[in-house]
Structure 1
Amino acid sequence: MNQIHLKYCAAIVTLLLVSCGSEKKPLEIEVVNSLDVDRSFETVEVDLDLLKSSETLKLVSGKSYQINEVGSDVELVSQLSDNDGDGTADVLLFQPEIAANSSKLFNISLKDSEAQTDEIPTCYSRFVPERTDDYAWENDRVAFRTYGPVAQKMIEDSIPGGTLSSGMDAWLKRVDYPIINKWYKKELETDGSYHEDDGEGLDNFHVGTSRGVGGIAVKVDTTYRFSKNFTEYKTIETGPLRTSFWITYAPWKAGDKNVVEKKFISLDKGSNLTKFRVEVEGSDTLSVGLTLHEKDGEVTTKVEEGWVSYWEPYFGSDLGTGIVAPSNTLLGYDKYVTDAKDLSNLYAQLKVDDGVVVYYTGFGWKKSKQFNTKVEWNNYLKQFAEKINAPLEVRVK
């Protein structure tokens, strides 16, 4: 039995015999949903080593893969993806729609590669040197950014325009098309500003030295310590279904601990939560934070279910933020309130397992019409947790 990873969690793949004959038959897979909820926008990852085991599905120059539901000639959107950042594709992604307690069959076959276009993909990320040295990423529902070493040095040298923060910024978009490049151009090359909402949303989310949406910290006695800005980055991929990248940080002190961290971050189509896989040395727990801003919001914590939530009034609308962790990794939470500027955060305390922490974090903005109430936002987090702990099962025949 081989293991094929799904978005949100590793799915168990049952392998039967794969025909290696010369007949050019597609590979048939079955995707099984064992939950009592409909499933969509969950990214199935099919291991390319499995496809290469079939003589008829070996990927060669000028060819790609296509996926169709059995009995249909409609091609589903798919993407070759590099999971480990080594420059070589490892998996084939697609997003099936599977009703509650049911399954569907799909065929995978070779096709001629289509010409590349210059269109910005739905799931997009890039380094932004024209705005100091941000790194920004987005999909069709949410957008984020964080800050690099030049922005940090500007603060340290008392140069205006810098940013000193390892927190994660939320860009409150309310359209389903890419806005990162458009908003930066608006801010830097026109009289407009991405701090003003012209119908697409805006950047009015305050991060400062807070954890923003999902920044990490280590608790020392009764306080929290964290890194400065990222020092290096590498874009792994952009595409119709996923963007991913990694960022690293200079070693930092947490009491008598020397902490080293490297974050692998990905965001898939249709998700309000971006995935963090943090490689860490120097601590056996990490605290993942959500800024409390004016401390006038509502906290919801479900440790046994693996999620925490903050719903707050924000500039005339409402905003929900949240953290979801895989089963048995959320150890507890801390609503940390202080008079110190930007340091009040809701922390999820996560267990470090063999030097790695995995969590999902993001937001839902009422003005985007994605979530209208705290109840809707919390139900989304609850179902998200259920899905990562009961992933779609993929059987390859």
Structure 2
Amino acid sequence: MTAAPRIVEVGGGVPYRIAIGPGLLADGAALAGHVRGRHVLLVSDSTVAPLYVATVREALHAARPDLLVGTFVLPAGESSKTLANFGAAIEAMATLGATRDACIFALGGGVVGDLAGFAAACWMRGVDCVQLPTTLLSMVDSSVGGKTAVDIAQGKNLVGAFHPPRAVFADTSTLRTLPARELRAGLAEVIKYGALGDPGLFHWLEAERERLLAGDEAALAQAIASSCEHKAAIVERDPLERGERALLNLGHTFGHAIETEQGYGSPHNANLNHGEAVAVGMVLAARLSAGLGIAEAADADRLASLLGAYGLPTTLPSGLTPAALLARMRLDKKNLAGRLRLVLWRGIGRAEVVPDVDESAVLAVLSG
């Protein structure tokens, strides 16, 4: 008999539940319980759809034979998170005849979750969205908190909306088919939670590296639950990122600049993917903190050592110029009045938002 899933409650003005455990994509009664009307659009990508769309569709129809279920499949990869594909998802809702009680199911990683959530936020000024993350990174980060967006040439996630999901189902069975590189990318975001606010989690990640990298389901479920609990608590207090929630972006200002400058990575090219870029970004933020005299260099070394032990990059890729990266960072959504506002730290577990960061110090770190 399958054990009951772990549940993480997200409170605040729009409360919802995160269920974590194996076999959740086949639980039609649980999935269909969040569909208020008759129209469902399954949004997925070309990697995930062949693996799981049929399972979800059959589960929904078994529980609710009256449902009209459409499918919209994106090419896999960050380069698909565009306004054009957002428009195509909206067209798919129109073709389905979706009404205001429709529901979009986001079945995939962060790209699918972000784009599908944004489509749900905009169709008829907002319909329900259920997140079905299938990568570790999306389970611990992008599926939780209601941030939805697409990318444009000038930067990541610059066009979007806050739209909390109706529910999140993190089916850990899907991690069995996850490539090792994608597993490591997700673990970068787990490490982020320890680095920004939980030294105990950081120490646990140092101790449990072998189990996590081997894909041990119990260890991964614990990592997912801990990450979601941290994010849920912060999101509940600051749903629209007007203060504390910005801490969740530790490493992301540097990381997004790297991704944008490289042209967005995919599972099949040498460019850094999101988790890898965030890993480099966290080390740069830690080294900048040391350079500004607010943290010890030894803490930055410990962070770099842990990320490296998980097979993650810790230095800038070749071919990126400091001036170009700084120009990308100036477009970051956290900046105020044209001044850099970065998430830095005072050591492991003590992140903070630092306003008006000196650009020359940032350039020095980017220059190595």
Q: Normalising by the residue count of structure 1, what TM-score does the alignment of the two structures yield?
A: 0.25
**Which of structures 1 and 2 has the bigger CA Rg?**
1
> Going by fraction, where is helix more abundant, 1 or 2?
2
> Going by fraction, where is strand more abundant, 1 or 2?
1
